[in-house]
């Protein structure tokens, strides 16, 4: 791997401490960092290198997946970290930053390969990328890359503006848009599961599949993020990015080659074929919910409107369920149901493929049809794949029962999403980062939903904390003769 400089905006922030430093550290323990590696941490505070390094070390104590190494090894790791105070709006500051980077490059004999990581609030994305461009930081003789965190825009229009601005400083293939769901090992596995297994690949279409269900339920509520979440809602916080990415990864067809370009092309085709809604369609195709008081694990919790920082009049969505259609030859007439919400019964992210069941009556017993075959892909908190089949039970007069075949390998020490993603960005593999087309097309689908919510033409269904969402979400599937699994 090329030697490089990792320029981190937001080096004193929460994400850096919880995710980025632990990821770099675990990559280091696995010998997956380049030999010459320089980290320039940037923040507003006036910190010395010592303070910075000990803050990095503390974050590793709290958040590293693996125990800390001996002090010599730790010291070598920390030596890579240098701090520089920067006010991101101060143009002059970037010139000094350039000098600092160049000096470190010279000392460590690092070619001008620079990875800029924006771990900052979204309002700073524009100004930072403009200043990277204007200061010459981005005019390198080697390569440059930009890693950017969500949210990528607040709606279709602002996403386009942000992209236009970033594009002045970086080419599309230099921009790595993080969606941490794409870093989850089971989401990365979806493509192999569908394509490396001819028996599944043969069935991956509307001839055999009745419907696809993608669920991400959480037990946590708004926590301390009222200011952000009440403006975002489940639709922006989870649906536009993570849920849409899981949809693409599930519905994409066999790529020509297993490469970033080909896989992202296939994902784009899914999004190109996604049927767009009108504002009026939102009323029948999307369910909006908001949690009220209830119990999570026998512990009473308050409703959304009683959460600190939330107005009693808030109509923000903490739950979304939707029916989507992909109008191409593979998925025509197969509904994709997607739901996500806070304060639900359990923390679980899973994809369920329900197969058609043409022989359900042949084996029906006492008016009970046989159960459909289900392929269940659990993403979170467990990584598991299982298949539900029907089988005769000799102990029960040979009646049919469902059996579940579990294909999970017990994987201890699975790398964290950020570890996988940062490693890919370091080596220039963009497969599991969101391409602009994917982001734009998913905003396109979401845009009428945002408008319908803003105009309140869609009911806001209350649901009890600790439930699986409002009744209307169950009815959405019932209309088509299905149920959530
Ligand atoms: C984040 C959202 O992107 O994903 C959070 O902002 C959410 O609201 C989180 O809780 C869920 O991620 P995970 O990995 O815990 O499923």
Alpha carbon distance 122, 131 (integer Å): 15
State yes or no: 303 annotated in a binding site. Answer: no
Q: Ligand 1 mean position to 150 CA, how many Å?
A: 11
State yes or no: 76 annotated in a binding site. Answer: no
Q: What is the spatial order of strands in the sheet that 144-148 belongs to?
A: 81-85, 37-43, 4-9, 114-118, 144-148, 175-177
What is the position in ligand 1's atom list of the atom closest to the CA of 181? 14
Q: Tell me which of 185, 242, 421 to substitute to probe ligand 1's pocket, judged by most ligand atoms within 8 Å of the beta carbon.
A: 242
Q: Ligand 1 mean position to 344 CA, how many Å?
A: 14
| pLDDT tens-digit profile, the chain (485 residues) | 889 999 999 999 999 999 999 999 999 999 999 989 999 999 999 999 999 999 999 999 999 999 998 999 999 999 999 999 999 999 999 999 999 999 999 999 999 999 999 999 999 999 999 999 999 999 999 999 999 999 999 999 999 999 999 999 999 999 999 999 999 999 999 988 888 899 999 999 999 999 999 999 999 999 999 999 999 999 999 999 999 999 999 999 989 988 999 999 999 999 999 999 999 999 999 999 999 999 999 999 999 999 999 999 999 999 999 999 999 999 999 999 999 999 999 999 999 999 999 888 787 777 677 899 999 999 989 889 999 999 988 888 778 889 999 887 666 678 999 999 999 999 999 999 999 999 999 999 999 999 999 999 999 999 999 999 999 999 999 999 999 99
Q: How many residues does the chain have?
A: 485
Q: Tell me which of 214, 221, 223, 238 to substitute to probe ligand 1's pocket, judged by most ligand atoms within 8 Å of the beta carbon.
A: 238
Q: Tell me which of 152, 182, 218 to substitute to probe ligand 1's pocket, judged by most ligand atoms within 8 Å of the beta carbon.
A: 218
Closest Cα to atom 2 of ligand 1: 237
∠ CA 241-277-317, rounded to 5°: 50
Alpha carbon distance 4, 370 (integer Å): 58
The pLDDT of residue 152: 95
Alpha carbon distance 50, 78 (integer Å): 10
**Global model pTM greater than 0.90:** yes
> CA-based Rg of the chain, rounded to a whole angstrom?
24
Q: Is 156 helix (H, G, I), strand (E, B) or coil?
A: helix
Question: Do the Cβ atoms of 68 and 117 come closer than 8 Å?
Answer: no
Region class of 156: left (phi > 0), else alpha (psi between -120 and 50), else beta: alpha
State yes or no: 46 annotated in a binding site. Answer: no
State yes or no: 414 annotated in a binding site. Answer: no
**Is residue 192 classed exposed, middle or buried when 0-12, 13-18 and 19+ CB atoms within 10 A define those classes?**
exposed
Q: Which residues of 169-190 are buried (b: 16+ CB within 10 A; e: fewer)?
A: bbeeebbbbbbbbbbbebbbbb
CA distances in angstroms from 383 to 70, 190, 243, listed in the order given: 31, 11, 17
**Is residue 469 classed exposed, middle or buried when 0-12, 13-18 and 19+ CB atoms within 10 A define those classes?**
buried
Q: Ligand 1 mean position to 124 CA, how many Å?
A: 21
Quickly list DSSP for 55-117. HHHHHHHHH-SS----HHHHHHHHHTEEEEE--TT-HHHHHHHHHHHHHHHHHHT--S-EEEE
CA distances in angstroms from 462 to 230, 289, 341, 459, 473, listed in the order given: 16, 6, 12, 9, 11
The catalytic residue positions are 242
Q: Ligand 1 mean position to 201 CA, how many Å?
A: 30
Q: Ligand 1 mean position to 203 CA, how many Å?
A: 31
The pLDDT of residue 411: 66
Q: Is 272 helix (H, G, I), strand (E, B) or coil?
A: helix
Pocket of ligand 1 (CB under 6 A): 218, 237, 349, 380
- Cis geometry, peptide bond prior to residue 402 (ω within 30 degrees of 0): no
The pLDDT of residue 388: 95
ipTM: 0.99
């Amino acid at each position: 791997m090329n030697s490089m400089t990792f320029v981190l905006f937001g080096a004193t922030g929460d994400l850096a401490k919880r995710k980025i430093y632990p990821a770099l550290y675990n990559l280091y323990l696995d010998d997956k960092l380049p030999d010459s590696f320089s980290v320039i941490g940037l923040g507003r505070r006036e910190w010395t290198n010592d303070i910075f390094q000990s803050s990095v070390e503390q974050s590793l104590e709290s958040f590293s997946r693996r125990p800390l190494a001996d002090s010599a090894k730790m010291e070598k790791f920390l030596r890579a970290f240098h701090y520089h105070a920067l006010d991101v709006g101060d143009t002059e500051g970037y010139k000094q930053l350039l000098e600092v980077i160049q000096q470190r490059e010279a000392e460590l004999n690092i070619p001008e390969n620079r990875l800029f990581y924006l771990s900052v609030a979204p309002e700073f994305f524009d100004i930072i990328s403009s200043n990277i461009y204007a200061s010459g930081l981005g005019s390198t003789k080697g390569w440059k890359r930009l890693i950017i965190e969500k949210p990528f825009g607040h709606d279709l229009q602002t996403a386009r503006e942000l992209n236009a601005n970033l594009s002045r400083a970086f080419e599309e293939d230099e921009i790595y848009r993080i969606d941490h769901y794409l870093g989850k090992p089971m989401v990365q596995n979806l493509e192999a599961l569908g394509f490396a297994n001819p028996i599944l690949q043969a069935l991956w279409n509307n001839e055999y599949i009745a419907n696809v269900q993608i669920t991400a339920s959480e037990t946590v509520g708004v926590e301390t993020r009222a200011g952000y979440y009440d403006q975002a809602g489940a639709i922006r916080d989870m649906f536009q990015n993570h849920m849409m990415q899981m949809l693409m990864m599930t519905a994409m067809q066999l790529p020509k080659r297993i490469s970033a370009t080909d896989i992202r092309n296939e994902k784009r085709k899914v999004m190109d074929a996604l049927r767009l809604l009108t504002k009026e369609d939102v009323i029948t195709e999307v369910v909006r919910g908001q949690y009220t008081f209830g119990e999570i694990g026998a512990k009473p919790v308050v409703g959304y409107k009683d959460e600190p920082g939330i107005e009693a009049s808030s109509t923000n969505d903490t739950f979304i369920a939707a029916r989507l259609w992909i109008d191409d030859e593979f998925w025509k007439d197969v509904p994709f149901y997607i739901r996500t919400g806070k304060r639900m019964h359990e923390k679980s992210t899973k994809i369920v493929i329900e197969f058609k069941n043409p022989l359900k009556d042949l084996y029906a017993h006492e008016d009970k049809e046989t159960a459909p075959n289900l392929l269940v892909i659990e993403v979170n908190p467990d990584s598991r794949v299982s298949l539900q089949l029907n089988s005769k039970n000799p102990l029960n007069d040979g009646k049919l029962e469902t059996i579940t075949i579990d294909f999970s390998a017990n994987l201890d020490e699975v790398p964290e999403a950020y570890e996988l993603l940062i490693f890919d960005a370091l080596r220039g593999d963009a497969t599991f980062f969101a391409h602009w087309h994917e982001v734009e097309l998913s905003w396109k689908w979401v845009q009428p939903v945002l408008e319908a919510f803003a105009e309140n033409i869609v009911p806001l269904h209350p649901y009890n904390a600790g439930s699986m969402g409002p009744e209307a979400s169950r009815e959405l599937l019932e209309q088509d003769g299905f149920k959530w699994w």
